[in-house]
Chains A and B, each alone.
Chain A
């Protein structure tokens, strides 16, 4: 398999009856993702695109085997939905909602950790292993199966880069968006570690942005543990200091969080640096030798 998901992953969708949940479920299903069940409180007994809907995760688990969930539940109910999944014993959940209060996110993340589960997001497009499984909202025509792993803070930036990779005949093993908010579960270095250990991934593209220090942490990990090539692109080189660039986390405070400092740390850790998506295929070809 690639990382986290594969052709056999059985999925439960939370918020499946909503406008977005229903629309994206259909796309995932058409892509080949095995959607086992859906949950929306109060809508138990319905069907969405032939998928049975339950009131509770536990009820769904009585009838179906589930490996992972994706939640399209709005921010104000997202904590409740996530905790319900963690309690049910499911070990991997994707939380797409943007704008969940920070303290709810802390509760979700810490509860997940205490139960030995993993949460991707919030504020994430999810992940896709092209040709195998899509647990997310990616415009999948831009993706193709291959051996380059991609981990990105921003969702759309990963689409942008994968579109260029695909056009240049470079496929992806798994593409993971860790989330654009100020807080997130699975970290860049956790995903890098999985890629390092994944036999189907030969090199990694790391996509970061201004704000915070997560890329510095990733750089330390690259220096210490990675022997696969890592190509990095950091967006926001021209972002002004002190302005919040969309993502709640993308704000340069003082010297911390500038694109420059991130690029420096990554370069010193041995990562190759790309300045634009179109440079990445060339760098990949070069490091393939």
Chain B
């Protein structure tokens, strides 16, 4: 889960990481008593806002109102802007970069700093990787002071080391306390008042939501109020039901019981000259109710002409998948043809159940794909 900037900054401030004085703006009159100049930043869950002209500076109140009005009616990379963060401008001597994330190749947390923070950090990392200083942390050892001092010296912090030490330690605390997979400050500004986090990016690990009371749920609820994405009915339904669903442009609805086979099925659909309407997979421990709920999601897309169900279960049981399909048909009837490829655990029972409603299953994936694509084209 990606936090909006103001949510991440609220966490920063709770952990004592300095941030500029600011206020959340929902309408042009919310700017209040900030000291000008003020920076107005669109609160959308996407990077590259600076380059998309979604971060502006206002020198006085009138200008701020005009900019707020404009931004609140704009669209940033497909996201309609619902809220702004207005912040007092900080006088910047230097822009640093600081991030703590999980390095998936090393299976270790990785801390990175650079003196060349700002909007071009990705370019810098690619072109001159030596400008980004990296240190792995050992999970059982944690963040030791020599690492902080080493990082501080490598970016020539000098007088600011104490502030830096406190910020790095708090970033580390947020990372562990909140089950984050990324905490990033870019830029971390050197100002006359010390170090200030001008931006904040936090990714939380949704898999850990269960052990944080309602922290994740609250943040998510807040986002729902502030982020409108123009999602389709099927997408909204999938999101509510916590179903993996990626909308695509075609007319063959696709359901698989594994992510890898799902992607393979999409590739085969395209190779056969068809177009998938979506990617949708059931995940590891799916029961009959998941199959029914997933069918409802996929068929909420009116463009779907045929549904291709690609099942090859190990953990997933074919008898239960068949039950799910039967429950769906009983409640909703059959609006489009269901092409079922069924192999794996309990497949004989599953196939027999589907035969009772006249559904003959396929054995071979490539055959069912060809048949479904042909049917979609003809209908």
Q: Which residues of A line the B interface, CB within 8 A?
A: 20, 24, 27, 75-76, 96, 98-104, 106-107, 109-111, 123, 125, 136-139, 142, 152-160, 163, 180, 182-183, 185, 207, 209-210, 212-214, 217, 233, 235-240, 243-250, 275-278
Contacts and interface: CB of A to CB of B under 8 A. Distances in A.
Contacts of B108: 106, 110
B270 interface: yes
A38 to B, nearest CB: 18
A250 B263 contact: yes
Nearest to B346: A139
A249 B268 CA distance: 21
A245 B276 CA distance: 14
Which of A24, A103, A217 is the most central at the interface, judged by chain B CB atoms within 10 Å of its CB?
A: A103
A209 B138 contact: no
B260 A153 contact: yes
B267 A235 contact: yes
Interface string B351-379: 00000000000000110000000000000
Interface string B190-210: 000000000000000101101
Interface stretch (B36-44, B49-57, B64-72, B251-259): B251-259
B266 interface: yes
B277 to A, nearest CB: 13
Interface stretch (B91-99, B142-150, B281-289): B281-289
A139 B259 contact: no
A236 B107 contact: no
Residue from B102, B312, B313 having most chain A Cβ neighbours under 10 A: B312
Given A110-B139, A156-B261, A209-B263, A20 B285 contact: yes
Contact of A238 (B102, B109, B267, B285): B267
Given A102-B205, A103-B176, A246-B279, A276 B271 contact: yes
Pick from B263, B268, B284 the residue with the most CB of A within 10 Å: B263
Given A183-B104, A235-B264, A125 B259 contact: no
Given A76-B211, A210-B263, A237-B267, A246 B244 contact: yes
B233 interface: no
Nearest to A208: B260
A267 B343 CA distance: 31
A154 B259 contact: yes
Contact of A217 (B105, B258, B312): B105
Contacts of B176: 103
A247 B260 contact: yes
A96 B314 CA distance: 12
Contact of B266 (A154, A156, A180, A238): A238
B266 to A, nearest CB: 5
B207 A106 contact: no
A214 B210 CA distance: 29
B345 interface: yes
Contact of B208 (A103, A136, A213, A246): A103
B117 interface: no
- Most chain A beta carbons < 10 A, residue from B139, B210, B260, B267: B260
Greatest chain A CB density within 10 A among B207, B270, B312, B366 is at: B207
Interface residues of B, number: 51
B152 to A, nearest CB: 25
A75 B104 contact: no
Interface in B283-298: 283-285
B179 A239 contact: no
B324 interface: no
B259 A209 contact: yes
Contacts of B266: 236, 238-239
B349 interface: no
17 contacts: A75-B207, A76-B210, A98-B285, A100-B207, A107-B139, A110-B138, A110-B139, A125-B314, A125-B315, A156-B314, A160-B312, A235-B264, A238-B266, A245-B259, A276-B268, A276-B271, A278-B366
A277 B267 CA distance: 11
Q: Which of B138, B205, B270 has the most CB of A within 10 A?
A: B205
A163 B102 contact: no
B20 interface: no
B139 A207 contact: no
Given A110-B138, A156-B257, A156-B312, 11 more contacts: A20-B315, A96-B315, A101-B211, A102-B207, A109-B107, A154-B259, A159-B343, A163-B343, A236-B263, A238-B266, A244-B244
A207 B207 contact: no
Contacts of B256: 156
A109 B281 CA distance: 27
B170 interface: no
B263 A245 contact: yes
A240 B246 contact: yes
B218 interface: no
Contacts of A101: 179, 205, 207-208, 211
Nearest to A112: B107
B181 interface: yes
Contacts of A163: 312, 343
Contacts of B138: 110
Interface string B137-174: 01110000000000000000000000000000000000
B344 A99 contact: no
B187 interface: no
A158 B260 CA distance: 9
B107 A245 contact: no
